[in-house]
Amino acid sequence: MTTPVKVATTGDKVEERGQPPVSKPGAQGVGGVRTTVKKAENQDHRKKAKVSNGAATEADFPIGDGFSITEDEVKIVRGMVKFMNDKGMTGLLIPRNAKHIKAEGVKVEKLHPLNFLYSLATDKDSRAYLRTMETGTTVFYAKIKILWNSFLGYSAFSSEGLGRELIKFFGDSTFEASKPMLHLFCEAVGLDKAVMEPLAETAFREQKEVKEQGKDLLEYSGSCIWEAFIVQTFQER
């Protein structure tokens, strides 16, 4: 049985998922909730995810004390990506399959997007599924990436996905303000900060440019701003 932990949801209300995070200006959580993690130098005491052969056996606060994820949630996230990869876009159009993936998504809809990404980036099979989805299918010499774009939330089939969730969280923040959190994410996943930082910095710069053009970040119809950052997390290693 998974031990209940709390995360902040709306306003000052707290759900039974873990301790509430500490507020920090410039860090907006999913659903408009302001959240943060403690600075890296204060994180030595946090609970780490125990990973064995790519499978998390415990994942309480892999990124920081304010961002919790349970073992069951890790399994749900990984199961969703496997299901999408197995069924393909055509299979997901079948009502029962579409209903299943939607129901699974509801179970983790309040999950922090970095924890969602953590669940996939720390699992060998999930990384392989994502590479297959990102590669797409060649049709008449053109790459078709319907399933991948749906995963990101940038397709005619889906306006909700990991790419848009990252914008919801980081859209009102800055690269400098978010660096401690991104460093913790890299540490938890085992990624090189020197490689990930420029990708994140580019995403923040593009977000700023879109906003300066007077466009709504979530309605922005260009490519996924966080795509390069996401792709790098599941490269072979």
pLDDT of residue 20: 37
- Give pLDDT tens digits for 33-79: 333 333 333 333 233 333 333 444 445 666 766 678 889 999 999 99
CA distance 212 to 181: 25
- Give pLDDT tens digits for 130-189: 999 998 876 666 667 888 998 998 877 777 899 999 999 999 999 999 999 999 999 999
pLDDT of residue 113: 93
CA distance 11 to 9: 7
CA-wise closest residue to 61 among 141, 139, 3: 3
Q: How many CA atoms lie within 13 A of 132 on its CB side?
A: 15
Q: To the nearest whole percent, how much of the chain has pLDDT over 90?
A: 50
- What's this model's pTM, rounded to 2 decimal places? 0.72
- Give the DSSP letter string of 85-132: HHHHHHHHTSHHHHHHHHHHHHHTTTS-HHHHHHHHHT-HHHHHHHHH
Q: Residues with Cβ < 8 Å from 44, sequence gap 6 or more?
A: none
Here the tokens at position 146 are: 């319907």
Hey, where are the domains in the chain?
Answer: 30-233
